[in-house]
């Protein structure tokens, strides 16, 4: 049965062309199956990607306040430490002011004590007994 032509009711074809055409048809059927499987795989991957996008968007929506807080955190932390340091500086200035007032009060107290002692001495100089004692030493 190795004919040169294959005879069909409406046409005739060379045997070699028939075999080639048969191979192409078989390859086409296999390719169609592979294309269908790949299309199915692509569709499944698209669905999976869409689910992940939805999950991501939901997560972003849930955490947007946290991300906003994280963006503000450096400024807030800097402001917090600045206020601490400002408060510490104010406390230090207040402590220094109080020390100065204490020193001035002590100085004033010493000056008043000296003045009081001088006045007492002056007062004693005016007493007659002091004058007698003084005269006896001279």
Domain ranges of the chain: 5-137
Residue 1: predicted pLDDT = 45
Torsion of CA 115, 120, 125, 131, to 10 degrees: -150
pLDDT in tens, 83-103: 877 778 888 888 898 999 999
Determine how many CB atoms are found less than 10 A away from the CB of residue 18.
Answer: 15
pTM above 0.75, yes or no: no
Residue 6 confidence class, pLDDT cut points 50, 70, 90: low
pLDDT in tens, 18-74: 889 889 888 888 888 899 999 999 999 999 999 999 999 999 999 999 888 888 888
């Amino acid at each position: 049965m190795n004919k040169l032509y294959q005879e069909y009711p409406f046409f005739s074809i060379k045997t070699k062309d028939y075999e080639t055409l048969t191979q192409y048809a078989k390859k086409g059927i296999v390719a169609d199956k592979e294309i269908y499987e790949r299309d199915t795989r692509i569709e499944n991957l698209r669905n999976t990607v869409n689910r992940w996008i939805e999950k991501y968007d939901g997560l972003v929506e849930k955490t947007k306040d946290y991300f906003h807080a994280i963006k503000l955190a450096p400024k807030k932390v800097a402001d917090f430490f600045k206020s601490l340091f400002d408060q510490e500086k104010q406390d230090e200035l207040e402590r220094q002011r109080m020390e100065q007032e204490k020193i001035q009060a002590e100085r004033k107290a010493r000056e008043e004590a000296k003045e009081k002692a001088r006045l007492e001495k002056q007062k004693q100089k005016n007493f007659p007994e002091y004058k007698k004692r003084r005269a006896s030493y001279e």
